[in-house]
Structure formats: C-alpha cells, structure tokens
C-alpha cells in the first residue's frame, strides 16, 4: 500500500486547519494519542497501551493532522512511520508532555498531607534565630515538607504574598487590608546602638530625644523598621538626620562600629555581641517593633501551610497564638 498523500479525515464534515492560538480543548488528549503512536509506530499496539479502541485512536490522529494541516505519519496498513514533520513534532510533544507530567507530580506532592512545599518569607532580622528555630521544630513532625525561604523587606513580601509568590510571611507592619490575614505574634524591643567612644555609650538607659542631634544609620525607605524609626523619632520631637542607609541590621551595626552614626535596632538583630558597639535600652512609650505573620485571605491553603499555621498557633513562647480572621489581628 502506498503512503497517504494527505490527512485522513473521517466523519461527515472534514476538519480544517486551525489558526494558531485557536486550538480546541481536545488537543491535549490528541497529543498523548500522537505520542503513543509515534513511540510504537503501530496503531493497534498504541491503542492497547492507551486502553482505547483502535478506531477511536485512528480518528484522533486524523483529526490532529487535519487541525495542523500537516501529514505526521506515512501509513502502511496499521503500521505508521513518522514523516520529517512528524519527527520534529514528536520531539516537541514529548518535551511538552514531560513538562506537564512534572507539573502534575509537583502538584500531587504539594497536596500530599505528609509533604508539600511552603514559600515562606521573613525579615532579615528574623533569619539568625526566629525562623531557623521555628522550622527546626516544625520539621521534627513534618520531615518531608519543603521550604522556599525568602528574606526581604516588608513591602516587597506583602506584594509577593498578594501575587502568590509567597504563602506566608513574618514581617512588620502589615497593611490593614481585606485581602490579608494578619496576627501579631510578639514584639522586638528596640535598642539604641552607639559607637564605643560615643558620649552616650556610658549611659545605662537613653531617652531618644537625647540623640536628636546625632547622625542615624537606618534601613532604606520601604522597610518597616525605617518607618518605625522615623515614627519614634517624630514622637520624641525630631526628624532623624540620616547619614547612611542599608538593607540589613548587621550592615547598620558595622556602620555604627565605624563611628558613622547611631541606629535603632531590634534586640534579636543583636544576638552576637560586638565589643565596639554598646547597646542601650531606650526610654519611651513604644520602643519596639511588633512582628506579624501574614497570609492571603480567601485563598485555599495547601496542607503543608495549614500544618505550619497550626504549629505557629500551638507554639509556646513569643510566636504562639491563633491567627485572627480579622484582616488585622490583635
């Protein structure tokens, strides 16, 4: 038998080639049918592999060729060989089906009650103690849960949360918005960090107003701690004169040690003592940074995220406490 010279159309109405971008919903199964026949080069064997009638498979192939407007097979009875166009198409289809299968495996793994993945964001100052301790305790009971950890400033993480790039973030502050669920976890007491030979270094406690004439080193605008610093200074009656801006607490502490200014930093960001940087408590009504856990409201939560939220709720110490359904938890 000679090879067919054109697409084999079946049914009362011949199929016509479709414009790019107008593929019907049935194209995906036809690609799987094509891939099976391309591997076996035999309609009967491919139909048995797929668990479908041979006639149905033949019609699916004919429809695919008609929609593409290209011969994919040269037919010799029930045996087929790929045309040059069919070989090129087969390579692309195998890659595409492989990506779909990998995506399906990832989705199944993420939905598995014993595994899954959580995209978890947190502030730089929480990276040395808070988050490692939390994950260590959580992994003791959930060893197969995978984490994508992201450190960044608060505004970036809130936007990533809203865009779905993060499942949960620990930050401060959290906007009062209906699309967010937030819970106040604890507070980080702020300390004034000064150079070793500074005039305030010998003081046991300092009123922030006493640093009104000092140069400050701070985090960049957009960071929650920067907004808190500005607000505390305004409450103390002055606007800080900013000499340097950075992106994380250790850099600020290094700048202070070099005598380039003073800084307000959270206590947990000062876990490793620095002999050249005295740390002094600040007197005042609110010298602290509240920390909050935030996630999107009205969005289905994968099991791994639900378990992590449960761990936060049940944890003893400063990170305990239930999440509030109110957009801005107490």
91-104 confidence digits (pLDDT tens)? 888 888 777 777 66
The DSSP H or E segment spanning 168 is strand 168-171
Tokens representing 11?
């049914």
Q: Which residue has the higher pLDDT, 244 or 113?
A: 244
**Band of pLDDT at residue 244, cut at 50, 70 and 90:** very high
In this prediction, residues 158-169 reach a mean pLDDT of 92
The confidence score (pLDDT) of residue 125 equals 73
Whether cis (ω within 30° of 0) applies to the bond prior to 117 is no
How far is residue 98's CA from residue 101's CA, in Å, rounded to a whole number?
A: 5
Q: C-alpha dihedral over 150, 154, 159, 161, to 10 degrees?
A: 50
The confidence score (pLDDT) of residue 109 equals 58
In this prediction, residues 59-65 reach a mean pLDDT of 87
The confidence score (pLDDT) of residue 110 equals 57
**Band of pLDDT at residue 115, cut at 50, 70 and 90:** low
How far is residue 256's CA from residue 265's CA, in Å, rounded to a whole number?
A: 11
Give phi and psi for 45, each to the nearest 5. -65, -40
Q: Does 203 score more than 60 pLDDT?
A: yes
Mean pLDDT of the chain: 77
Does residue 235 contact residue 246 with C-beta atoms inside 8 Å?
no
How far is residue 98's CA from residue 106's CA, in Å, rounded to a whole number?
A: 12
How far is residue 246's CA from residue 248's CA, in Å, rounded to a whole number?
A: 6
CB count in 10 Å sphere of residue 242: 16
The confidence score (pLDDT) of residue 214 equals 94
Instruction: Report all structural domains of the chain as residue ranges with CATH numbers, in order of start.
Output: 27-111 (1.10.10.10), 117-185+290-314 (3.40.190.10), 187-289 (3.40.190.10)
In this prediction, residues 76-92 reach a mean pLDDT of 84
**Band of pLDDT at residue 216, cut at 50, 70 and 90:** very high
Region of 324 please: left (phi>0), alpha (psi -120 to 50) or beta.
beta
Would you mind telling me the total number of residues written for the chain in this entry? 330
How do residues 8-29 score in pLDDT, each as one tens digit? 333 333 444 444 444 444 466 7
Q: Which residue has the higher pLDDT, 35 or 291?
A: 35
First and final C-alpha spacing in the chain: 80
**Band of pLDDT at residue 165, cut at 50, 70 and 90:** very high
The confidence score (pLDDT) of residue 132 equals 84
Does residue 183 contact residue 229 with C-beta atoms inside 8 Å?
no
**Band of pLDDT at residue 166, cut at 50, 70 and 90:** very high
Percent of the chain, pLDDT > 90? 15
Q: Does 273 score more than 60 pLDDT?
A: no
């Amino acid at each position: 038998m000679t090879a067919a010279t054109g697409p084999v159309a079946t049914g009362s109405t011949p199929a016509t080639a479709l414009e790019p971008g107008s593929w019907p919903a049935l194209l995906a199964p036809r690609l799987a049918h094509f891939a099976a026949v391309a591997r076996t080069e035999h309609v009967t064997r491919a139909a048995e592999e797929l668990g479908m009638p041979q006639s149905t498979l033949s019609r699916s192939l004919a429809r695919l060729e008609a929609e593409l407007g290209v011969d994919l097979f040269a037919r010799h009875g029930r045996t087929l060989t790929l045309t040059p166009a069919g070989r090129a198409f087969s390579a692309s289809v195998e890659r595409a089906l492989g990506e779909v299968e990998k995506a399906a495996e990832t989705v199944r793994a993420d939905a598995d009650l014993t595994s899954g993945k959580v995209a978890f964001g947190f502030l730089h100052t929480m990276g040395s103690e808070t988050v490692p301790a939390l994950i260590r305790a959580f992994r003791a009971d959930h060893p197969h849960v995978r984490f994508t950890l992201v450190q960044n400033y608060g505004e970036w993480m809130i936007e990533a949360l809203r865009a779905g790039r993060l499942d949960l973030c620990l930050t401060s502050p959290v906007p009062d918005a209906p699309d967010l669920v937030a819970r106040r976890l604890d507070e980080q007491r702020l300390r004034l960090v000064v150079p070793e030979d500074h005039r305030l270094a010998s003081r046991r406690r300092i009123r922030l107003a006493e640093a009104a004439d000092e140069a400050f080193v701070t985090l960049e605008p957009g960071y929650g701690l920067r907004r808190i610093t500005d607000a505390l200074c305004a409450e103390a009656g002055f606007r800080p004169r900013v000499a340097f801006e950075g992106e994380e607490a250790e850099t600020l502490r290094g700048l202070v040690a070099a005598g380039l200014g003073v800084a307000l930093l959270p206590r947990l960001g000062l876990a490793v003592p620095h002999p050249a940087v005295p740390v002094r408590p600040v007197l005042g009504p609110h010298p602290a940074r509240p920390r909050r856990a935030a996630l999107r409201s009205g969005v289905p939560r994968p099991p791994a995220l639900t378990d992590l939220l449960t761990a936060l709720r049940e944890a003893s110490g400063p990170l305990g406490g239930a999440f509030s359904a109110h957009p801005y938890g107490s």
